[in-house]
Amino acid sequence: MKLKFSYLLLILLPFASHSQTDFLNHKKYWFYHYRLLNDFMVKGDCKGCSIPMNERFENNSPVGRWGDGTIVLAEYMSLLATEYELLKRNNQPTDTTIQELFYALKTFNRLDYNAESAFGGTNSQNGFFIRDDVPSTFITDHPRLANGTTSNKHLDTIYSDYAPPWYGNTRDKEMSHDQVWSLFMGFSLVSKFVDPGTNYQNFEVNEITHNTDLRQEAIDITARIINYLKSKNWEIKNPVTNNIVFRGHQVKELSYGAAEAACYIENQFSMNTFSPFTSPPNILPIRGCDGYHDTYSKSEATVWNLLRLGVPIYATFSYDAYKPALLATIGHSWWSDVNIPPYVNQTRTYVESACIAGDWQHVPLLRQVLHGGGNSILESFYENIINSAPCEGPSCFWNSGGACSTFEWSSSNRLRNPDERNGGSADGEYNGIDYMLYYNLYNIINPSTIPYVNFMDSRITFPIPIGNPLMGTTANPLTIEAFNTIEATNTVNSNADATYRAGKSIHFGPDFHVVAGANFHAYIDPFECATDGEYRSVSTTNTTNNNAVAYAGNTTFANYPSTVPQYIREENVLTAENTIVNKNNSIEIKIIPNPSNGIFSIESNSNENSAFQIKLYDILGNLVSNLSMTENLLNINLTNQSKGVYYVEIKNDNGYYKTEKIIVQ
C-alpha cells in the first residue's frame, strides 16, 4: 500500500516550518530535473543526445555551450544513481530514472566507440573516448532546445569540444584524466545503488557485448578505461596518433589511487580492512585489487599516500587538488604511514580537510554515502546551501552587467568550480546538476521529513476518491500535478472530483476509467517559478495573486459531467511533444500551418519506402481520423471538427514514431 499512498502522504502532510522547506526543496529538485531534460539536453540515442549542456545563453548571447562533456555526463549519472536509490527506498517507481541512466551509459559507449574516427582512425570500444559528440547542427536538429521550456532565452548557436573546437585545435576533443575520475564517481554510485540485473526493457546498453545490465555496464566501462591506461603505461595517449593527449595526460602519480577506486567500483567491499601486499615490503594494502593494478601502480603506492599531506594545502588555490581527493574518496585509499603499523585509514580526515579548503563539500558526503562514517561539516551548512538554490534554476549574468540568482549557485558548476561563484564562470543559465547531486547525497545521509516522490513523472494507480476521510470528492477535490508526465491506469469513480495537470504529457493506459457522474479534468500546462518558491501559473492561481507567473501557452481541458457515459479506452496520450528522440533523426516531419483553421498539411523529407500511418485524436483521446501517407505530402481537413487541440501520431514500419500537437482555431 505504500506505493499507492505515498503521493497522498505529501498531500495530507500537515507541514511545520521545517517540513514546508523540505517540501519546497523536493519540488525544486524535480523542477530542476524537468528543466534539465527540456532546456539543457535531448534524451535519447543520437549524436549529442543525453549529454547536458553547461550554460544556456552563454555570455549573454544566443549560445548553448557544451564543455568537458564527459564530466557533466558523469555528474548526471551520479544524480540518476542516487535518485534511483531514494525512489527505491520510498517504494516509488524507478522506470523513468532507469531509462535516463540507460541512455547516459549508452552515450558513454558511443563516445568510446566513435572516438578514433574523430582523428581519422578506425573506431574501437577500447577505453579511449572523446569529450562529447555534439555537432554544430544540434539546435537545428532539435529545435525545441532553441526556445526552451522554462527558459526565455533563445539559442541559435552551439559551442562544444566536438564542433567547432574552442581553441581551433581538433585535439580539444580528446579525453583527459579529470574526465576519468569524474566518471569513476558516477560509476561508483551506479555500482553502489543500482540493483544487479537492472535493465531498460531488456535493451542492449552495449551493442558490442550485447549487455543489458546497467550496473554491470558501469563496472565493465571502468575496467575498460583502466586497462587502456595500463596499456599506455599510465599516460593517456591518442591511439590514432600515439601522441599524449592535448590536456591532462599524466596519470602516473595517481595510478595507485585510480586502481583502488576502480577496484571499489567492481567489488563494493569495506575498505577499512585489508590484507597487506607482501612484496615489495612496506607497501599500502591492495585489497583484492590485483586485476586493476600492475607493477607500476603498486610502486606508486607511497607517492599516492603522501599526497594526502599536501592536498589540503593545495586545495586552497587549485582545482587540481580536487582530483586526488575525489579518487581517494571513491577508493577510500589514504592510510597512515606505511612504515608504521598498524595501518589506519585516514581518508576521511584528509578528504574533509581538502574539501573544506576547496569548497567541495559534496565530496565528504560522497565518502559517507560510499563508505559510511561521519562528516565534520555541519548539517546546517548543507541545509543552507540547498535552501538557497533559486526556484527558477541557477544563473549568473554578472560579467555582462546583470546579477546572479544566488551566491552559492552562481558558478556554472559548484561541484568542481566553487571558486567561480559570482562572476567567475561564463555568464548564462546553468544546468543545476550540482544542486541535484547535493540534494540527493544529503538526503541519502539525512533523510528528509517527507517521502521522496517523483514530482516530474507521476504514476496514478489508486482509485479516486481515496482515503479516510475521502479525498477527491466535491467536498474535498483532489489535484495531482507533475512537472513532466502523468501516467494514469486508475479508475475515477462517479462521486469523484479530480484534476490531473502535467507540464508535458498525460498518458491514459488501457485500464483507465472515468465513470459516469465524475467531474474530471486533465490538461497540459507548464509550471513556472513564483517569487515565494512555489511552482504555478495563472491557469491554476487567482490572477490577483502577485506570486503567480503568467503562462501564455495553450491550455487543454476535459470535463466528464453526469451526462457522459462510462468512459473506457485503449492507451492514449495527451502530450505537448514526443520526449524521446529516435536514433534515426534524419526524417523531418512538418505540420503547416500550425495553428490552422482546420486545413493543414503534413510534409516529410523521407525517402524511405515505408508509408507513414497518421492517426489524429481529440483531447479526450477519441480517434478522429486514421490515414496513410504514401507520398511526402498529406493534406488534412478538420473543419468539420470542433475548434481546440488535437494530437497527431505519426509512425512507420521502420520504427519511426512521433507525436505532435495541432491547434485548430
pLDDT given for residue 340 in this prediction = 61
**With 50 as the cut, is the pLDDT of residue 187 above it?**
yes
To the nearest 10 degrees (0 to 180), the angle between helices 255-267 and 301-314 is 100
Alpha carbons 378 and 496: distance in angstroms, whole number = 47
pLDDT given for residue 550 in this prediction = 33
pLDDT given for residue 609 in this prediction = 61
- Give every strand in the sheet of 519-524, ordered side by side: 478-482, 497-502, 519-524
What burial class does residue 182 get, using C-beta atoms within 10 Å of its C-beta: 0-12 exposed, 13-18 middle, 19+ buried? Answer: buried
**With 80 as the cut, is the pLDDT of residue 657 above it?**
no
pLDDT given for residue 147 in this prediction = 87
pLDDT given for residue 586 in this prediction = 57
DSSP of 155-191: --EEE-SSSS-TTS-GGGGB--HHHHHHHHHHHHHHH
pLDDT given for residue 236 in this prediction = 96
pLDDT higher at 286 or 536: 536
Report how far Cα 103 is from the mean position of its chain's Cα atoms. 10
Under the banding of pLDDT at 50, 70 and 90, the label for residue 628 is confident
**With 90 as the cut, is the pLDDT of residue 80 above it?**
yes
Which single residue is written with the C-alpha cell 547516459? 104
Alpha carbons 430 and 221: distance in angstroms, whole number = 28
Under the banding of pLDDT at 50, 70 and 90, the label for residue 341 is low
Alpha carbons 373 and 378: distance in angstroms, whole number = 14
Alpha carbons 98 and 101: distance in angstroms, whole number = 5
Alpha carbons 270 and 520: distance in angstroms, whole number = 53
To the nearest 10 degrees (0 to 180), the angle between helices 322-331 and 301-314 is 130
CA torsion angle 16 17 22 28 (round to 10)? 120
Report how far Cα 635 is from the mean position of its chain's Cα atoms. 39
Under the banding of pLDDT at 50, 70 and 90, the label for residue 148 is confident
Alpha carbons 45 and 582: distance in angstroms, whole number = 7
In whole angstroms, how far apart are CA 177 and each of 128, 195, 230, 433, 501? 11, 28, 13, 21, 45
pLDDT digits (tens, 9 = 90+) for 98-131: 999 999 999 999 999 999 999 999 999 999 999 9
Which single residue is written with the C-alpha cell 582523428? 119
DSSP 8-class letter at 467 = T
pLDDT digits (tens, 9 = 90+) for 27-73: 999 999 999 999 999 999 889 999 999 999 999 999 999 999 999 99
Per DSSP bridges, beta strands 485-488 and 505-508 are parallel
pLDDT digits (tens, 9 = 90+) for 124-147: 999 999 999 999 999 998 888 998
Give the helix, strand, coil percentages of the chain, each rounded to 5.
Answer: 35, 20, 50
pLDDT given for residue 170 in this prediction = 66
Grid cell for residue 340:
608504521
**With 50 as the cut, is the pLDDT of residue 361 above it?**
yes
Contact 260, 331 (CB under 8 A): yes
**With 60 as the cut, is the pLDDT of residue 409 above it?**
yes
pLDDT given for residue 544 in this prediction = 33
In this structure, of 70-74, 458-462, 601-605, 660-664, the range with the lowest mean pLDDT score is: 660-664
pLDDT given for residue 469 in this prediction = 85
- What residue ranges in 7-90 does DSSP mark as E strands? 55-56, 63-65
Highest mean pLDDT among 226-235, 454-463, 582-591: 226-235
In whole angstroms, how far apart are CA 556 and each of 4, 342, 523, 625? 27, 70, 5, 20
Per DSSP bridges, beta strands 497-502 and 519-524 are parallel
Grid cell for residue 643:
475548434
Separate counts of helices (H) and strands (E) for the chain: 16, 24
pLDDT digits (tens, 9 = 90+) for 632-644: 888 999 888 877 7
- Indicate the pTM of the whole model: 0.80
Highest mean pLDDT among 76-85, 301-310, 391-400, 508-517: 76-85
pLDDT given for residue 563 in this prediction = 34
Under the banding of pLDDT at 50, 70 and 90, the label for residue 513 is confident
What burial class does residue 592 get, using C-beta atoms within 10 Å of its C-beta: 0-12 exposed, 13-18 middle, 19+ buried? Answer: exposed
DSSP 8-class letter at 335 = B
pLDDT given for residue 467 in this prediction = 83
Alpha carbons 201 and 205: distance in angstroms, whole number = 10
pLDDT given for residue 655 in this prediction = 64
**With 90 as the cut, is the pLDDT of residue 365 above it?**
yes
pLDDT given for residue 621 in this prediction = 63
pLDDT given for residue 342 in this prediction = 66
| Domains contained in the chain, CATH given | 457-574 (no CATH), 589-664 (2.60.40.10)
**With 50 as the cut, is the pLDDT of residue 541 above it?**
no
Q: What is the mean pLDDT of the chain?
A: 83
